[in-house]
């Protein structure tokens, strides 16, 4: 009997050691409906959420303030970066009754953790750059990317795109320094290009052209390097790659390859959640039967580590340092330690022994 039991134990141990541990992502649970949340800071101090009435609210330290008010049904989205100095709010009062991918929204700028926004313009796809010292946004009708300094609003410049073919194209934009912008554009035949804009010259120069119109390019900045991801789409046999160029850039063609794949990944590079790591959505299936999951790419070792095993991932979100993904309407925490549901639960103090009782017990012990 004992022998049988020991065999069972050994057998179970062997099975478990050969079986890979499944990655089970915890669901994001919050005190209120997640669908109302617009930003939860990592330390749990600040919560930005909206209401059906059209208000955007800011909660901290058990105080709630209304930041913005608009018509019933207004949708807000909030953008922030790891610099934690500024935040951008987009306001769409016609979210439920006017479906237009290109409709411009009001853009507000706000100091991180505060509640007094200032309106800065109309556009889509806002991005904060260079420690939140610059903001850019895009006008899909005039096809102009506008840049404004977040401290001194009189410092502005803009870049006009060449794209004529795709009315829904939104460029990737990164600023490497006050004088230099890298962005993507489409050529007359719809091929992605990476361009470098120099503010002092007010001139753009093309530094890279994709080899096919059936691929996209994503850009981001990680640890002083420009990260460029190239991903094929629409069943094209192009594959994927991620590369790095040190900044200031000398020659884009001499960039270092960090990762490549024969399959078309979704990409969706997230470069600012950790200094040595980039997250992306990889095709872990085949060309004809794709399945998508989040992986971590270590920029030093170039090692790929899976972060999810859901096979149906379509997004990665960096919410103030917590990596999230949404699947079947629910949010899951991919990387992050914060327990958002209990973050501000009052902790019960450890009960201190009563002084009289302690004296009595001492006396009885002496006896």
CB nearer to another protein: give 83 or 199: 83
Is 139 within 8 Å of 122 (Cβ atoms)? Answer: yes
Please enumerate, as own/partner, the contacts of 326-330 that have beta carbons within 8 Å and a separation of 24 or more.
330/27, 330/28, 330/34
Q: Nearest distance from residue 269's CB to another protein, in Å?
A: 9
Reduce the secondary structure of 339-367 to three states and give it as a string: CCCCCCCCCCCCCCCCHHHHHHHHHHHHC
Which residue among 173, 181, 266, 307 contacts another protein (CB under 8 A)? 266
Hey, what are 164's tokens? 């004529």
Residue 170 in 3-state DSSP? coil
135-174 positions binding another protein, by CB under 8 A: 141, 165-169
CB nearer to another protein: give 84 or 199: 84
Q: Does residue number 319 form part of the binding site for another protein (CB under 8 A)?
A: yes
- Lay out the site mask for another protein across 195-234 (x = CB under 8 A, - = otherwise): ------------------xx-x--------------x-xx
CB nearer to another protein: give 96 or 198: 96
242-261 positions binding another protein, by CB under 8 A: none
Which residue among 16, 61, 289, 355 contacts another protein (CB under 8 A)? 289
Q: Would you list the DSSP string of 249-296?
A: -S-GGGPEEEEEESS---EEEEEEEETTEEEEEEE-S-SSS--EEEEE
Of 252-260, 295-303, 315-323, 348-356: span binding another protein (CB under 8 A): 315-323
Q: Nearest distance from residue 109's CB to another protein, in Å?
A: 15
Binding residues for another protein, rule CB under 8 A, total: 60
Is 161 within 8 Å of 145 (Cβ atoms)? Answer: yes
Q: Nearest distance from residue 124's CB to another protein, in Å?
A: 9
Residue 5 CB contacts under 8 Å (≥ 6 apart), including other chains:
none
Q: Does residue number 235 form part of the binding site for another protein (CB under 8 A)?
A: yes
Dihedrals phi, psi of 252, to nearest 5 degrees: -65, -30
Hey, what are 217's tokens? 């390019």
Residue ranges in contact with another protein by CB under 8 A: 34-35, 37-40, 52, 73, 75, 77-79, 94-103, 141, 165-169, 189-190, 213-214, 216, 231, 233-236, 264, 266-268, 281, 288-290, 292, 311-312, 314-315, 317-319, 324, 326-329, 331
């Amino acid at each position: 009997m004992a022998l049988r039991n020991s065999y069972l134990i050994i057998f179970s141990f062997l099975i478990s050691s050969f079986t890979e541990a499944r990655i089970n992502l915890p669901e994001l649970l919050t005190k209120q409906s997640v669908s109302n949340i617009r930003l939860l800071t990592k330390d749990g101090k600040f919560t930005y959420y909206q209401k059906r009435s059209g208000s955007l609210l800011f909660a901290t330290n058990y105080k709630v303030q209304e930041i913005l008010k608009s018509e019933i049904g207004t949708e807000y989205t909030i953008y922030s970066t790891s610099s934690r100095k500024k935040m951008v709010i987009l306001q769409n009062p016609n979210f439920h009754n006017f479906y237009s991918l290109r409709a411009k929204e009001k853009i507000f700028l706000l100091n991180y953790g505060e509640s007094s926004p200032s309106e800065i313009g109309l556009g889509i796809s806002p991005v904060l750059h260079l420690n939140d010292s610059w903001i850019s946004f895009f006008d899909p009708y005039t096809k102009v990317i506008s840049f404004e300094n977040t401290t001194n609003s009189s410092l502005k410049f803009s870049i006009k795109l060449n794209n004529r073919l795709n009315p829904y194209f939104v460029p990737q934009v990164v600023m490497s320094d006050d004088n230099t912008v890298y962005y993507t554009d489409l050529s007359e035949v719809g091929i992605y290009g990476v361009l470098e804009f120099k503010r002092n010259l007010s001139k753009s120069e093309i530094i890279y052209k994709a080899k096919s119109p059936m691929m996209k390019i994503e850009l981001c900045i990680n640890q002083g390097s420009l990260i460029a991801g190239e991903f094929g789409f629409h069943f094209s046999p192009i594959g994927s790659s991620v590369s790095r160029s040190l900044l200031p850039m000398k020659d884009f063609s001499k960039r270092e390859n960090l990762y490549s794949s024969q399959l078309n990944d979704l990409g969706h590079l997230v470069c600012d959640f950790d200094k040595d790591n980039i997250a992306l959505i990889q095709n872990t299936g085949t060309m004809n039967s794709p399945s998508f999951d989040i992986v971590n790419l270590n920029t030093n070792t170039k090692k790929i580590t899976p972060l999810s095993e859901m096979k149906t991932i379509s997004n990665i979100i960096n919410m103030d340092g917590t990596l999230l993904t949404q699947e079947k309407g629910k949010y899951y925490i991919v990387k992050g330690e914060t327990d958002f549901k209990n973050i501000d639960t009052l902790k019960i103090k450890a009960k201190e022994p009563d002084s009289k009782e302690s004296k009595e017990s001492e006396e009885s012990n002496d006896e």
